[in-house]
Chain A
Amino acid sequence: MQKFNTLKSIPAYMPIVNIDTDMIIPKQFLKTIKRTGLGKNLFFEMRYDNDGKEIREFILNNEPFNNSKILIAGNNFGCGSSREHAPWALLDFGITCVISSSYADIFYSNCFKNGILPIILEEEKIKELSEYSNRKEEIFINLNEQKIIYGNNELIFNIDPFKKKCLLEGLDDIALSLEKSKKMDSFEKELKEKKPWIFND
């Protein structure tokens, strides 16, 4: 997984609440057997008209937001389906940080598996940061210091320490878990005695 350290970008602001994963990447693009190539279809229905032409008013179709690495959005971002295609599409587009006041649980955890930092801030701070999108000014994110620097201001955000470590170091979850294989073995041995029906042996 790609490491996340610091990031500087003009954020793109989408003032919509409950952006669901169907909006982020509609189902017709879930037929892929790859993780890559979804960026061009990110927010497909908001981004293209029925003839496949870019819709001018949609923020990500416009300079400089077509190069934004940071997306600011309304609350409950990523609700709905568990599709990891949603963070894959964001990543493939180039977005590696999302800022919202809340996320759906599955989407939130999917971000961390893909090197995307989902930051949770109060609504008031979201509004402040959205001004930088409106003014097309960069903001700066430092994960290690858990800091967002914007203009002459800065704010601290909270993040689970273990998730932070995994992002900073780009750690492979499975390899980490497999280090505990002795514990797994003994758990399973005990399980076979306690609940023999689980393994159907």
Chain B
Amino acid sequence: MPNTLYDKIWNDHLVDQQDDGTSLLFVDRHLIHEVTSPQAFEGLRKSSRKVRHPNLTLAVVDHNIPTTDRSKGIDDADSRIQIETLDKNCNEFGVQLFGVNDKRQGIVHIVGPEQGFTQPGTVIVCGDSHTATHGAFGSLAFGIGTSEVEHVLATQTLVQKKAKNFRVNVNGKLAIGVTSKDVILQIIGKIGTAGGTGYVIEYAGSLISDLSVENRMTICNMTIEGGARAGLIQPDQKIFDYLKGRPMSPKNENWDKALKYWKTLKTDFDAKFDKEINLTAEDIVPMVTWGTSPQDVAPIDGKVPNPKNETDIDKRNSIDRSLQYMGLKPDIALKDIKIDTVFIGSCTNGRIEDLREAAQILKNKKKAAHVHAMVVPGSGLVKEQAEQEGLDKIFINSGFEWREPGCSMCLAMNADKLKPEERCASTSNRNFEGRQGRGGRTHLVSPGMAAAAAIAGNLDDVRKYQN
């Protein structure tokens, strides 16, 4: 029977399957961080269980960590306790940790690929919904809850039921100024925030193959915003080249064996998908969200919707509620929306290519005087690379703050947060109510669009700012 890439990875990891389809799946790679792991380790301790394979587990601190100078420790007591707890747990259970002072520290979904911990054909899990990011390498990667984190630590397996197959084909070429962030925002706008619930999405088509590895990660990263737990892309030579020589990539003879296997990871040409949609890259323009769900998305030259035009009452109420929260009037042009803050970073757009994209727009330009703007590199290594390329200088000269790596204002668990009614153009992944700080208003955009907004002081079209 012809199989999809998802089917193949699934079948290859089945430890056990009950008659009702409930399956025990082997987990090759487990990423953990300080926020969703303490209760899992506590559970192990209470039941006198060990971590079954500490060497298949990698821990980082990212969610809670300050992005300002950390040399004098962490002020916030709760954050500090959580970070110290991870340190203690990793020590006790023998798990490798990239701690606060490690140059390799960064956002879990940026660190995994960077280290070569993320590999094609593997099952990768993490107590974080943006684990789908790793699907860009042709792995089955998804977020899990803390009870499941404990289960994986104890058994290196996970209880799962198989999802359905959904393929999103994007063909053609993107216009200048249009990025993979715009592609995924467009996809989410099209399928809706629950459109992928119960599915694993495979992204395919000529555009997807043309994208760089990092741009593919941006697409897979936001799969969860379309409701699907995992999104993946068939691995190709770009992926293999990216992984070659990374610290945790297979070496020597193992590399050859791995490569041979990775090259078999393809959806059969006659495989059946339960759902399939097609997009044309040429139709995609720079996108921006106007509401409080990632599906509330529109082209930058569009307008804020008018709830009166919506016939479905639930949808109308939902638009009403969003606009009230966002402090926006119906029918105004998106480009007329003034912003207070710009945030460039996160597991969606905190990689070196994202920083290059923003810096390219900001070169020799200043941010608008009233805008507070910050860049938070996705990892210590991204930061180092950016500094070698002089990107930090471009950002600083434009008036941006250049910060230490972490999740930062994407979820505002640390001190980086919006004040009530403060409006932000953000390269992160969620524009939920209160996500970036209580009462804060988020507009999701690409790094180039965030840079354009910083210069203009309002949402603006990045295509006007091409250097």
Q: Which residues of A lie under 8 Å from residue B432 when comparing CB positions? A: 20, 22-23, 80
* Contact (A174, B438) CB under 8 Å given A45-B433, A76-B197, A82-B144: no
- Kindly identify which residue among B26, B42, B435 contacts A187, using a CB–CB cutoff of 8 Å: B26
Q: Pick from A16, A84, A105, A162: contact of B321, CB below 8 A.
A: A16
B369: Cβ under 8 A from any A Cβ: no
| Contact assessment for A45 and B434 in the assembled complex, using a CB-CB cutoff below 8 Å | yes
Which residues of B are found within 8 Å of A8, using beta-carbon distances? none
For B71, the chain A residues whose CB sits under 8 A away are: none
Find chain B residues with CB under 8 A from A191 CB.
26
Q: In the complex, which residues 111-166 of chain B have their Cβ closer than 8 Å to any Cβ of chain A?
A: 119, 122, 127-129, 142-148, 150-151, 154-157, 159, 161, 163
Q: Contact check, A102 vs B194: say whether CB atoms are below 8 A apart.
A: yes
> Nearest CB to that of B430 among chain A residues?
A80
Q: Is A83 an interface residue (CB 8 A)?
A: yes
Asked if B386 is at the interface of the complex by the 8 Å CB criterion, the answer is no
| CB nearest neighbor in A for B77 | A31
Q: Which residue of A lies closest to B121 (CB)?
A: A195
Contact A198 B122 (CB under 8 A): yes
Q: Which residues of B contact A161 (CB under 8 A)?
A: 20
Kindly state the interface size class of chain B when it binds its partner.
35 or more
Q: Which residues 287-304 of B have a CB within 8 angstroms of A?
A: 293
Q: A114 to chain B: closest CB distance in Å?
A: 7
For residue B63, give the distance in angstroms from its CB to the closest CB of chain A. Answer: 8
Question: Is the CB–CB distance between B144 and A106 below 8 Å?
Answer: yes
> Which of B147, B154, B197, B317 has a CB less than 8 Å from the CB of A84?
B147
Contact with A along B24-59 (1 / 0, CB 8 A): 101010000001101100100001010001011000
Instruction: Please tell me if the beta carbons of A187 and B434 are within 8 angstroms of each other in the complex.
Output: no
Q: How far is the CA of A195 from the CA of B460 in the complex (A)?
A: 49
- Report if A105-B438 is in contact (Cβ < 8 Å); known contacts: A23-B433, A180-B24: no
Q: Which residue among A18, A80, A200 has the maximum number of chain B CB atoms within 10 Å of its CB?
A: A18
- Establish whether residues A173 and B39, one from each chain, have CB atoms under 8 Å apart when the complex forms: no
Chain A residues contacting B150 (CB-CB under 8 Å) are 174
Contact of A183 among B16, B255, B293 (CB under 8 A): B16
User: A180 near B15 (CB under 8 angstroms)?
Assistant: yes
Question: Measured between alpha carbons, how far is A84 from B411 in the docked complex, in Å?
Answer: 16
Q: Are B56 and A184 in contact (CB under 8 A)?
A: no
CB nearest neighbor in A for B296: A18
**Would A74 and B314 count as touching, CB distance under 8 A?**
yes
With A76-B193, A105-B229 already in contact, the answer to whether A84 and B145 are too (CB < 8 A) is: yes
Chain A contacts for B146, CB-based, 8 A: 35, 84
A160-201 contact mask (Cβ, 8 Å, vs B): 1 or 0: 111000000000011011101101100110010001111110
Instruction: Give chain A nearest CB distance to B138 CB in angstroms.
Output: 14
Contact code string A32-46 (vs B, CB < 8 Å = 1, else 0):
111100000000010
Residues of A within 8 A of B318 (CB): 16-18
- Tell me whether A27 and B148 are in contact (CB under 8 A): no
Does any Cβ of B come within 8 Å of A2's Cβ?
no
Bound complex: CA of A40 vs CA of B82, how far in Å?
21
Asked if A146 lies at the interface with its beta carbon under 8 angstroms from chain B, I say no
Complex interface: chain A residues within 8 A of B317 (CB): 15
Asked whether, in the complex, the Cβ of A187 is within 8 Å of the Cβ of B229, the reply is no
Assuming the contacts A83-B36, A174-B151, A183-B15, asked whether A26 and B161 have C-beta atoms less than 8 A apart, the reply is: no
Does A183 lie within 8 Å of B144, measured CB to CB?
A: no
| Partner of A79 from B128, B193, B321, B413 at Cβ < 8 Å | B193
B257 touches A196 (CB 8 A): yes
Contact B20 A160 (CB under 8 A): yes
A195 touches B258 (CB 8 A): yes
A residues whose Cβ falls under 8 Å from a Cβ of B: 15-18, 20, 22-23, 26-28, 30-35, 45, 50, 74-76, 79-84, 87, 102-106, 109-110, 113-114, 160-162, 173-174, 176-178, 180-181, 183-184, 187-188, 191, 195-200
Given A76-B197, A82-B143, A84-B145, 5 more A-B residue pairs with CB atoms under 8 Å apart are A23-B434, A82-B144, A104-B194, A174-B155, A200-B55
